[in-house]
Amino acid sequence: MAVQQSVGQDPYFPDNGDSRYRVHRYELALDYRPGPNRLSGTARINAIVGRSPLAEFQLNLADFKIGRVRVDGRQPHYTHRGGRLRVRPAKPLRAGAAFTVEVHWSGNPKPVNSPWGGLGWEELADGALVASQPVGAPSWFPCNDRPADKASYLISVTTPSAYAVVAGGRLLTRTTKASTTTWVYEQSAPTSSYLVGLTIGKYQTVLLGDPGPGGIPQHGHIPAHLLPEFSRDFARQPAMMELFQELFGPYPFDEYAVAVTEEELDVPVEAQGLSLFGANHVDGARGSERLVAHELAHQWFGNSVSIADWRHIWLNEGFAKYAEWLWSERSGGRTAQQLAAVAHRLLSSQPQDLRLADPGRKAMFDDRLYERGGLAVHAVRCALGDEAFFLMLRSWVRLHRGGAVTTEAFAAHVGRFAREPVEGVFTAWVRGAALPSLPVFRAGE
C-alpha cells in the first residue's frame, strides 16, 4: 500500500499543479493527424476536493482552442491564459467531494518552453512523441501537473492507419474504420502527468524474450530497418528485468515497452511502463546498454515510487544511475565500486556547489546530480552492507508503491535498517555540497 506524503505547491514550478484537489482518473480521447500536426481531444477528469471547499481551481493546458468546459455537467466560468485553465464552478465544491471536469480542446500541439528547451509533444518528421519531464504534459492534455498527483489513465488515440500508437500501459483494443485506427490503452497504476508516455510512428513490434507463466511481457516498437541492431542492443533487457526484480522487488506494472524513433534524441525518455529511445541509441554494439538499464530502473524509482516535488529528483536519478552500476557488476562488467571511483574522480574536478537534497531548478538535470546521486546510494550501501541494503531497497519500493516520497522519508527509512546511525551519510552526501571521500564497499559485509 502506498504511503502518500502530504505536499503543497512545488517550489520549483509554483505555476504548475493545484494542491487543493487531487485527480484519481483521466479519460482522454484524442484524434491526431500527423500531416497538419492537428490534435483534438476530450478529457474527462475525475477528482476529489481537498480539506477546504473549492470555489475555483486550475488545470495546466497549453495554448489550444477550448471548445467547452463542464464541471459535473454544468457550465462553469473559466479563463485560459499563460498555460493555465482557471475554472470557477457554478457552485463551490464542498470539502472532500468527488467531482468531474470535462474539457474539449483542439489545435497544433507543440512543446512548451522551459529552461531545458521544448518539453512535451514533439512533432517528428513522420509522427510524434511525448517527452514531458518535468512540466511538458500540458503541451497535449489538461492536467493537474504535479508529480505527487498520481492518477489512472484511459487513453484513446485515433490516427491514420499507417501509423502505430504506443502508450504506457495495456493495449485494450485496436479498431480500424475506413482509413483511421483507434488505439485504446489503460494505465491502471497511479501515474504522474509527466510520465504519461506516447509515441506515434511507423513501427514494427517484437517480443523481447519469453515472459513465461507469470512473467512480465516486454515489447519493442522499432522502425523495421533498425530491427537487426535493436535485437542485439536490447537482447539483455529480459535479464535486466530478472535482476532488478531480484534486487528491487516485483516489477510494479503489468508490462514494459520500449520504442525507438526514426530520429535522434539527446537522451532517452522515461514514461510509466514505456521508455523512448532515439535511433542514435541503437548501434548494434550495445553502446547504450547502460541507458537501457537506467530507463528500466526508473519503473521502480521515479515511476512507481515518485517524488513529492522536484526538489527530490535525486531519488529518481541517483537510483537509476546506481542501477546501471549494479547491472554492470552483475553482468560481468566493472563493479559498482570501480564505477563509483570513476564518478568520484569526475566530480572531484568539477564545482562543488550542488546539494542533492535541494539542487535548485537550474541544476535539477545537471550531470553532477546523476553521478553524485549514484555515489550517495553507494555510500548508503557501504554503510548498511549488502544484506541490509537490498532488504531496505525492497522494503522502500513495497511500502511506497504508487505513492510519492521525500528525501527525509528515505533517510528515516534507511535508518531503520542500519546497525549504526546513518545521519552522517546523509549530511555529507545529500545535504552538503563538498564532495566527501570515496565510500568503500567491502564484499561480504
Residue 263: strand, helix, or coil: coil
- Nearest residue to 278 (alpha-carbon basis) of 59, 129, 435, 74: 129
Whether residues 195 and 215 fall in one domain? no
What CATH number does the domain containing 258 carry? 3.30.2010.30
Evaluate whether 108 touches 102 at the Cβ level (below 8 Å).
no
294 is in an annotated binding site: yes
61 part of a folded domain: yes
Decide: 406 and 312 in contact? Cβ < 8 Å: yes
Q: Is 158 in contact with 235 (CB distance < 8 Å)?
A: no
Considering the domain architecture, whether residues 150 and 281 belong to the same structural domain is answered as no
Based on the domain organization, do 220 and 182 belong to the same domain? no
- Residue 443, pLDDT score: 60
211 in the same domain as 196: no
pLDDT confidence of residue 213: 80
Residue 5 has a pLDDT of 38
Tell whether omega for the bond before 134 is within 30 degrees of 0, i.e. cis. yes
Q: Does 47 share its domain with 180?
A: yes
Query: 150-173 b/e with 16+ CB inside 10 Å = b?
Result: bbbbbbbbbbeeebbbbbbbebee
* pLDDT recorded at residue 8: 63
Q: How far apart are CA 23 and CA 127, in angstroms?
A: 30
The verdict on residue 439 lying in a domain is no
Q: Is residue 445 part of a domain?
A: no
Question: Could you tell me if 94 and 169 lie in one domain?
Answer: yes
What are the grid coordinates assigned to 58, written together? 486550475
Q: Is residue 442 part of a domain?
A: no
347 lies in the same domain as 319: yes
* Residues of the domain holding 219: 203-304
**Residues 158, 159, 162, 168, CA torsion sign:** negative
Residues 27 and 145 in one domain: yes
The reported pTM is 0.95
Instruction: Looking at the structure, tell me whether residues 3 and 151 fall in a common domain.
Output: yes
What is the CATH classification number for the domain harbouring 365? 1.10.390.10
Q: Is residue 8 part of a domain?
A: yes
The verdict on whether residue 317 carries a ligand-binding annotation is yes
Query: Both 193 and 227 in a single domain?
Result: no
- Ranges under pLDDT 70 in the chain: 1-8, 442-445
DSSP string, 131-145: E-TTT-GGGTS-B--
Q: Is 80 annotated as a binding residue?
A: no
Question: Is position 438 within any domain?
Answer: no
Q: How many domains are there within the chain?
A: 3
* Residue finishing a domain among 288, 304, 320: 304
What 3-state DSSP class applies to 279?
A: helix
